[in-house]
Amino acid sequence: MAEWTADEMPRLDGKTVVVTGANSGLGFEGTREFAARGATVAMACRSVERAEAAAEEIRADAGGAVDGALDVRECDLASLDSVAAFAEGLEADYDAVDVLCNNAGVMAIPRSETEDGFETQFGVNHLGHFALTGRLFDLLDAAEGIGGDARVVTQSSGAHEQGEMDFADLNWERSYGKWKAYGRSKLANLLFAYELQRRLDATGGSKASDEDNGFGIRSVACHPGYTDTNLQLRTAEESGNPLMKVGMKAANAVLGQDPEIGVEPMLYAATADVDGGAYVEPGGLMNMRGHPTVGRSNDASYDREDARKLWEYSTEATGVEYPL
Ligand SMILES: NC(=O)c1ccc[n+]([C@@H]2O[C@H](COP(=O)([O-])OP(=O)(O)OC[C@H]3O[C@@H](n4cnc5c(N)ncnc54)[C@H](OP(=O)(O)O)[C@@H]3O)[C@@H](O)[C@H]2O)c1
């Protein structure tokens, strides 16, 4: 693939894009790019205050106004009630959602639990997005989408390779390793993204690829490589070790690519001609930097039995049923 950059994104006038974690890092950068092309971006953030400030920054950088619109909304992925309220609000105000970017995340934090009693990394990174996608399913299916299908883009990480599913202790009650839990949550992102596509395929194909007899939704996974964002700094803050913050900042400065590049896999997955079930990643050094390419995640992420078990667990844990 020739090097793809955000300059190749199409105009998105009239499209609605939902971005979780839109106030910081990759979500912020993605929001800026979608809005610059005319999309209305629903900024799904846990802090309305931080999201308003981010929206103001995007507008100011664009000379006072963006081409599209920025719609700040509260959505705390650590609360199933908040996710449900966010989805209800969107249903009341929009007819369709063309792109959902399941982007927000936390990394390697000490063990804590969400409002609903889930270990936070698994609860926010995976279960919150599972619930959100299910609740937005009808709005996604109603959309014209991009290239004929709405897109569900799920942001994983190279750290999925360190993840292991342990269905006897998904909530990390017996033992907890903060990096192991991050790896598992990112593996879960991929198991979910691929299982969603398989279930969509089983309904008879998408609007784009078939005779309009299936759901018009495509599920694409991506990861940003190593990108200099607040993710690493929050890990350091939560560790309580001031030296770690200094170390993370230095590592980010030396090794991290700019968010403008790191966001490209998500933008590519959302708007380029890409198949459902694809994995979009940076094409440069060790797939940790550079412009996007379609690659392959590790074997565990394609394990159909684990994906099925995770889907069943997630349905029961969140109470959100998909029509699939
Ligand atoms: N940066 C990298 O090198 C890298 C590498 C691989 C994968 N990723 C993935 O990229 C995604 C985005 O991370 P980033 O690098 O852009 O980090 P970031 O700058 O820290 O942004 C993370 C976003 O997630 C939001 N968030 C956290 N908990 C949330 C919750 N309970 N409900 C709703 N939103 C919540 C944060 O909100 P607040 O600002 O309010 O905390 C923030 O907006 C994550 O899924 C991460 O795993 C990043």
DSSP-assigned states of every residue in 11-62:
P-TT-EEEEETTTSHHHHHHHHHHHHTT-EEEEEES-HHHHHHHHHHHHHHT
Mind listing the pLDDT tens digit for each residue in 52-108? 999 999 999 999 999 999 999 999 999 999 999 999 999 999 999 999 999 999 999
Nearest residue by C-alpha to atom 8 in ligand 1: 157
Core vs surface per residue 109-143: b (16+ CB within 10 A) or e: beeeebebebbbbbbbbbbbbbbbbbbbbebbbeb
Residue type, 169: D
Bridge partners (DSSP) of residue 149 are: 146
Pocket of ligand 1 (CB under 6 A): 20-21, 23-27, 45-47, 50, 75-78, 103-107, 124-125, 155, 157, 223-224, 226-227, 229-231, 234
In this prediction, residue 203 carries a pLDDT of 87
> CB–CB of 139/97 below 8 Å?
yes
In the chain, the domains with their CATH numbers are 10-317 (3.40.50.720)
Q: Could you tell me the strand order of the sheet in which 16-20 lies?
A: 69-74, 40-45, 16-20, 99-102, 150-155, 217-222, 279-282, 292-295
Determine the distance separating the centroid of ligand 1 and the alpha carbon of 37, expressed in angstroms: 23
> Is the confidence at residue 208, as pLDDT, over 80?
no
182 part of the active site: yes
In this prediction, residue 286 carries a pLDDT of 94
Which of 49, 187, 228, 229 to mutate for ligand 1's pocket (most ligand atoms within 8 Å of CB)?
229
Alpha helix positions (H), the chain: 25-36, 48-61, 80-93, 120-121, 129-135, 137-141, 178-202, 230-239, 242-255, 259-262, 264-271, 304-318
What's the predicted TM-score (pTM) here?
0.97
